Amino acid sequence: MQKLDLKITELDNPEYSRIVDRAEKRVEEAILYALVRDQARNDEIEILSFPVAVMMVAAANDPFLKRRYALAEAKRAYSILRQESRQKLAEVAQVFNWKIKPVKTDAVIPQTVPADFTLNFVDYLKNTSNFHESKWKLVNRTILHGEVNVTKDEAARLLAEEVRAHMENKLDLKIGFTLPQTVTERAERLKLLFLSRKGQARQEEMPKETTVDAFPPCIRQLYSAAQTGRHISHIGRFALTSFLINSGMTVENVIECFRTASDFSERMTRYQVEHIAGGRGSRTKYIPPRCDTLRTHGVCPGMDEICHRVRHPLAYYRGKLRLIKTQTPAAAART
Amino acid sequence: MQKREFAFLLFKERTMLRHKGFKTIEDFRNFLSGVTPSDVYYSSAYYEKPEEEMDAKGWMGADLIFDIDADHIPTPCDKQHDTWTCKNCGMSGRGAKLEKCPKCAGQKFGDVSWPCEVCLETAKEETMKLIDVLDKDFGLSPKEMNLAFSGHRGYHVHIENEAIKTLDSIARKEIVDYMLGIGLETGLQGFDRGVGPRLEDSGWKGRIAKGTYEFLLTATQEQLENTGLKKKTALQILRQRDKILESWKEKGPWKILKGIGPDSWEKIITKGIERQSIKIDTVVTTDVHRLIRLANTLHGETGLKKIQVSTSEIEQFDPFKSAIAFQHDSVTVDVSESPEFRLGGNTYRPYKNERVELPTAAAMLLLCKGAAKITEETISVQ
């Protein structure tokens, strides 16, 4: 920015309108299509439009818009990075202080999975926590002396993830200056566009009544353990309570579920349930841990058919509810 | 030290004094001698302000901690040294913790667990497996691994490493899954149409091969069928056991047996993975705010010390000798009931309702376990 001599206060100068236009377009594309298309007719405009777009999104100050924009730019980064040479990828990785080494192509060590790089496991883990495919799980990787084998395409994907996280951090920073009026107006317009799109995609609401038949296997098991007063681990209790609250059960009814427990104390249970329901302390309403966390802590009793298609107990519940709903009229028709 | 939270379990009140921070060792010593707690803990986490409430502490990072506790591992002793008493009907028995009282179906128990040689030997084996993986797979040097006997039923491994410090709970969960083999998919570990890993492979590939080899080396028909294999398949494997074991010298057994397809192998391999998985406590490692016992302090349930062990000496390490804090004198105690146990060079027979004079460390263990009381004479002498 400094090198290209662009001053923020001059952004409303007609001279820069093509840059600001392109910046607005970038964000608009992110909102509409969840990606930023390549439009590199003029390199200078393309490069300068990026920081301007970042400023606009930061000014719009909507956490969901920030996430969406960061993701869209990351996707774009991935499509560019995957075309780059190994040398170039390694250089970009070094900008983020990755410990990455190219694998010598004449390596005599037999590899079942071909690798272009080895990446330190800390860098690897930091950039895979949002990935859910089993091929990204550390346990399924080749790791030796702290270094994980990755292909060139995987390295590009991990770098894009680094870009996304980096952008989210940048977008969260408070802007220490005032943007020119016209730019602020554009930011506001983008925010409105985003909100109108978000409104359309609003998630269906949870029904008010809890349907035990739609519980996933883990919650079913915990629920029956609670009802018969069997011992439940700490994380099991948390999963059950947060699940029941999110399924629409009242605090009172959740407390009732635990009444048969041998060490039941109404005061303690109420405190914990209310805390999870968001009525105390930090006022956050908690959601249950996702499936793979429950698996790690031994709460998952084994998966059924629906489990294979979801990653979260609440997603299972929503899916099963829909299934029950569509099946019930048919069942009723038969009787 | 300035960035850690300290916590203390108080003798009389039996409550935890938390959120303490210290600027110097001197301050810490003075505090300890003033309060004399039964147990001392510190946070694996580093905080900007350790003395604040949790939300305001300012988390800066945390050491990576592994806890291997005999409670989480099935052991050959079957925990027969542990006792439980139903708080509802008073029935008591031996063995691992129960869910329900067999007499009255009550679920509230008072239980006493004992540090046992078999339990601790099993925990030690798991710890050595862990160290091996941390070294070979994760490339950590023995210098970065702080290994200690917990003072009761297991071992702790602390990793202090600048890069690892910043890993969040999700990343640590991946390390836990790696140790336990959770989510492992054979298709991603070198299994493909009759080709599979070999014994000399590194990482999980080699461990799958080793675990499977060990399982097949001694497996009985019953054990094979328990994996879900058909009787016919189990018998076929037993008949050809020599051929299977021999095949490991080359490409492994994955293709040599007719009629044993990928599904059957998957069942056998699951057993192999189970053998090689490292039984760490999943909650401790994923918790980035954990409090851990401070090394060289006493464990309130045994009177033994949490003591550091170097990774090269773990194999010969004898916790019942090295962790003894009270080396001198003896104390006379009234013992209600105790199993046979060993401390240092002495093995003590089971006692029941009797008065015995014991070396201080042995008396201390019984006192901590609530199995003995100090005699009135002892108190009056003091």
Domains in chain B, please, with CATH? 6-70+120-180+282-316 (3.90.920.10), 186-276 (1.10.8.160), 326-381 (3.40.5)
Confidence of residue B10 (pLDDT cuts 50, 70, 90): very high
What is the mean pLDDT of the segment spanning B346-367? 93
What is the mean pLDDT of the segment spanning A113-129? 92
What is the mean pLDDT of the segment spanning A82-94? 94
DSSP A27-86: HHHHHHHSS----TTSHHHHHHHHHHHHHHHHHH--HHHHHHHHHHHHHHHHHHHTTS-H
β-bridge partners, B147: B157, B309
Report the gap between the CA of A158 and the closest CA in chain B (Å): 14
Looking at the complex, does the CB of residue B140 fall below 8 Å from at least one CB of chain A? Answer: yes
| A334 domain residue, yes or no | no
For residues B104 and B92, give the distance between their C-alpha atoms in angstroms, rounded to a whole number: 12
Q: What pLDDT sits at residue B183?
A: 92
> Considering only CA atoms, which of A197, A232, A258 is closest in space to residue A65?
A197
Residues of B designated catalytic: 67, 69, 281
What is the mean pLDDT of the segment spanning B12-30? 92
Domain identity same for A71 and A88: no
For residues A290 and B169, give the distance between their C-alpha atoms in angstroms, rounded to a whole number: 13
Task: Mutation target for A interface from B54, B177, B193: give the one with most A CBs within 10 A.
Answer: B177
Confidence of residue B66 (pLDDT cuts 50, 70, 90): very high
Looking at the complex, does the CB of residue A97 fall below 8 Å from at least one CB of chain B? Answer: no
Report the gap between the CA of B53 and the closest CA in chain A (Å): 12
Instruction: Answer yes or no: is pLDDT of A334 > 50.
Output: no
Domain identity same for A101 and A174: no
Looking at the complex, does the CB of residue B184 fall below 8 Å from at least one CB of chain A? Answer: yes
Q: Which residue has the tokens 């203390």?
A: B8
Q: What pLDDT sits at residue A281?
A: 63
Domain identity same for A54 and A194: yes
Inter-chain CB proximity A139 and B139 less than 8 Å: no
> Which residues 230-289 of B have a C-beta within 8 angstroms of A?
282-283, 286
Q: What pLDDT sits at residue B88?
A: 76
- What pLDDT, in 10s, does the model give residues B84-134? 778 778 787 888 777 777 788 776 677 777 778 888 999 999 999 999 999
Instruction: Answer yes or no: is pLDDT of B177 > 80.
Output: yes
| A330 domain residue, yes or no | no
Which pair of tokens denotes residue B335? Answer: 């013992």
Looking at the complex, does the CB of residue B55 fall below 8 Å from at least one CB of chain A? Answer: yes
What is the mean pLDDT of the segment spanning A229-246? 90
Task: Mutation target for A interface from B53, B100, B138, B269: give the one with most A CBs within 10 A.
Answer: B138
Q: What pLDDT sits at residue A332?
A: 47
Instruction: Answer yes or no: is pLDDT of A9 > 90.
Output: no
| Burial track A150-188 (b if 16+ CB lie within 10 A, e otherwise) | bebebbbbbbbbbbbbbbbeebeeeeeeebbeebbebbe
- What pLDDT, in 10s, does the model give residues A319-331? 999 888 887 665 5
Inter-chain CB proximity B183 and A143 less than 8 Å: no
- What pLDDT, in 10s, does the model give residues B213-271? 999 999 999 999 999 999 999 999 999 899 888 888 888 888 877 778 888 899 999 99
Looking at the complex, does the CB of residue A145 fall below 8 Å from at least one CB of chain B? Answer: yes
Q: What pLDDT sits at residue A112?
A: 52
Domain identity same for A52 and A172: yes
Inter-chain CB proximity A146 and B286 less than 8 Å: no
Among residues A141, A157, A173, the one where a domain terminates is A157
Q: What pLDDT sits at residue A202?
A: 52
Q: What pLDDT sits at residue B253?
A: 85
Confidence of residue A5 (pLDDT cuts 50, 70, 90): low
Instruction: Answer yes or no: is pLDDT of A106 > 60.
Output: no
Q: Which residues contact B26 (CB under 8 A, 6 or more apart)?
A: none
CB contact at 8 A, B98 and B85: no
| A301 domain residue, yes or no | yes
Q: What pLDDT sits at residue B89?
A: 83
ipTM score for this prediction? 0.90
Task: Mutation target for B interface from A139, A228, A260, A292: give the one with most B CBs within 10 A.
Answer: A139
What is the mean pLDDT of the segment spanning B26-32? 94
- What pLDDT, in 10s, does the model give residues B317-353? 999 999 999 988 999 999 998 888 999 889 999 999 9
Q: Which residue has the higher pLDDT, B193 or B36?
A: B36
| A329 domain residue, yes or no | no
Q: What pLDDT sits at residue A6?
A: 67
- What pLDDT, in 10s, does the model give residues B257-277? 777 888 889 999 999 999 999
Looking at the complex, does the CB of residue A146 fall below 8 Å from at least one CB of chain B? Answer: yes
Contacts of A146 in chain B (CB under 8 A): 137-140
pTM: 0.86
Q: Mean pLDDT for chain A?
A: 85
Q: What pLDDT sits at residue B84?
A: 79
Contacts of A282 in chain B (CB under 8 A): 55
For residues A218 and B172, give the distance between their C-alpha atoms in angstroms, rounded to a whole number: 23
Domain identity same for A287 and A148: no
Inter-chain CB proximity B107 and A128 less than 8 Å: no
Contacts of B204 in chain A (CB under 8 A): 139
Domain tally, chain A: 3
Domain identity same for A174 and A47: yes
Pick the range with the lowest mean pLDDT from A25-39, A304-318, B22-36. Answer: A25-39
End-to-end Cα separation, chain A, in angstroms: 73
Among residues A157, A185, A220, the one where a domain terminates is A157
Q: Helix, strand or coil for residue B174?
A: helix
Looking at the complex, does the CB of residue A228 fall below 8 Å from at least one CB of chain B? Answer: no
Domain identity same for A68 and A54: yes
| Burial track B52-65 (b if 16+ CB lie within 10 A, e otherwise) | eeeeebeeebbbbb
Inter-chain CB proximity A125 and B100 less than 8 Å: no
Contacts of A230 in chain B (CB under 8 A): 99-100, 107
Instruction: Answer yes or no: is pLDDT of A142 > 70.
Output: yes
Domain identity same for A38 and A178: yes
Domain identity same for A64 and A171: yes
| A29 domain residue, yes or no | yes
Q: Mean pLDDT for chain B?
A: 90
| A260 domain residue, yes or no | yes
| A252 domain residue, yes or no | yes
Q: Which residues contact B247 (CB under 8 A, 6 or more apart)?
A: B253, B256
Report the gap between the CA of A86 and the closest CA in chain B (Å): 24
Instruction: Answer yes or no: is pLDDT of A203 > 60.
Output: no
Among residues A91, A126, A157, the one where a domain terminates is A157
What is the mean pLDDT of the segment spanning A70-88? 93
Nearest to A139 among B138, B140, B181 (CB): B181
Looking at the complex, does the CB of residue B173 fall below 8 Å from at least one CB of chain A? Answer: yes
Domain identity same for A178 and A217: no
Which pair of tokens denotes residue B248? Answer: 């490991």
Domain identity same for A90 and A139: yes
Q: What pLDDT sits at residue A197?
A: 80
**Nearest-by-CA chain A residue for B162:** A122
Inter-chain CB proximity B183 and A147 less than 8 Å: no
Domain identity same for A87 and A142: yes
Question: Percent of chain B, pLDDT > 90?
Answer: 65
Looking at the complex, does the CB of residue A137 fall below 8 Å from at least one CB of chain B? Answer: yes
Q: What pLDDT sits at residue A206?
A: 65
Could you tell me the residue range of the domain that residue A306 belongs to? Answer: 212-324
Q: Which residue has the tokens 């803990």?
A: B41
Instruction: Answer yes or no: is pLDDT of B72 > 90.
Output: no
Instruction: Answer yes or no: is pLDDT of A283 > 70.
Output: no
| A225 domain residue, yes or no | yes
Looking at the complex, does the CB of residue B26 fall below 8 Å from at least one CB of chain A? Answer: no
Instruction: Answer yes or no: is pLDDT of B370 > 70.
Output: yes
